[in-house]
A = this chain, B = another copy of it.
Amino acid sequence: ALAAPAIAQSAPQFTWRVTSSFPKALDTIFGAAETMAKYVNEMTDGGLTLQVFPAGELVPGLEAADAVSSGTIEVCHTASYYFWGKDPTYALGTTVPFGMNYRQMNAWLYYGGGIDQLNEFFHTQNLHYMPCGNTGAQMGGWYRKEINSVADLQGLKMRIGGLAGKIIEKLGVVPQQIAGGDIYPSLEKGTIDAAEWVGPYDDEKLGFYKVAPYYYYPGWWEGAPTLSTMVNLEKWNELPAHYQSVMATACEAANSNMMASYDWKNPNALRSLVANGAQLRPFPQDVMSAAFDAAQATYEEIGATNPMFKKILDSQNAFRRDAYLWAQLSEYNYDVFMMSQQQAGKL
């Protein structure tokens, strides 16, 4: 159809700030907020304008949720698991150790009622939650010495945070909270023995391979961490319905866009890291199994006194069980065959 004659329409104007929990240096994660904001700004022709600020410019990264909940700032882009200390249910909006993989998380969020279940919780925090980005399965971090069994974890001082730190502590690790910029000198001096960050693309920039060459996988504590855009609940409710739809759709597009960005960048970074001396190592099976069991024990402890946490995790786990049954057929066998062709130099 041709364009109809222009009609006058009232267009409300909103200018909102988005505080990121990440520095600009983490350009892919910070970039997901920028992508989301760009989509919103373009789609509304500036009617809803989002301005993104890196961690620290408006409030520190770990105060993002509080600033939005209180209404000081309209929107944040964050990993909700940073705030698990307030309530472990926050972690379920990102991931928990041995959680679902990327595709499973999205299936549960968008079709398994996950977003609604999470918002049943987040609305009690005066926050409206929308998934907005994913790193995929992260790496298991950098180690000064090889890890050959659970015994090698005893007393290991490792930079690892949050719920993962609480779980890995059960395996003998002594978790350390250290800001990104301080990890390298701590590893170099031997103040710490190991550190986890993200994956090849981000890790390469910090140069850990020079001082802790053993690069372990998989990052079992972050199988598919989901970033989120969280909006102050009153502000969200003030938005006209079409602007709510714009934000939700922009977040859904940015959610997969960030995964595509990492998937594009990580292969080259991995190649470069290995060329520079990074030593790739899989975690021993006894470490994986002990960590899995420690995670389940931790969730039982939390769930015993936190019915909301238990209800949402049970929902995630029920789907994870079935999804990993299906994943063993076409998707897995396709990839395994293609990997065998890659190894044979046929791709």
Contact = CB atoms under 8 A, between A and B. Distances in A.
Interface centre among A328, A342, A347 (most CB of B within 10 A): A347
A102 B103 contact: yes
Nearest to A347: B321
Contacts of A107: 260-261, 263-264
B260 A330 contact: no
Interface in A247-283: 249-250, 252-253, 255-257, 259-261, 263-268, 270-271, 280, 282
B263 A333 contact: no
A270 B346 CA distance: 32
Interface string A9-24: 1111111100000000
A331 interface: yes
Interface in A229-257: 238, 240-242, 245-246, 249-250, 252-253, 255-257
Q: How many copies make up the complex?
A: 2
A13 B93 CA distance: 38
A50 to B, nearest CB: 11
Contacts of A346: 292, 296
A304 interface: no
Given A43-B242, A218-B337, A322 B267 contact: yes
A338 B1 CA distance: 52
Contacts of A45: 240-242
Q: Rank and list the top 5 A-B pairs by shortest CB-CB distance, nearest first.
A: A6-B10, A111-B264, A107-B263, A267-B322, A256-B256
Interface of A: 1, 3-4, 6-16, 39, 42-45, 74, 98, 101-104, 106-112, 136-140, 199-200, 217-220, 223, 238, 240-242, 245-246, 249-250, 252-253, 255-257, 259-261, 263-268, 270-271, 280, 282, 288, 292, 296, 317, 319-335, 337-339, 341-342, 346-347
13 contacts: A42-B241, A42-B249, A102-B103, A110-B264, A218-B331, A218-B337, A267-B325, A271-B322, A271-B325, A280-B329, A292-B337, A321-B342, A327-B335
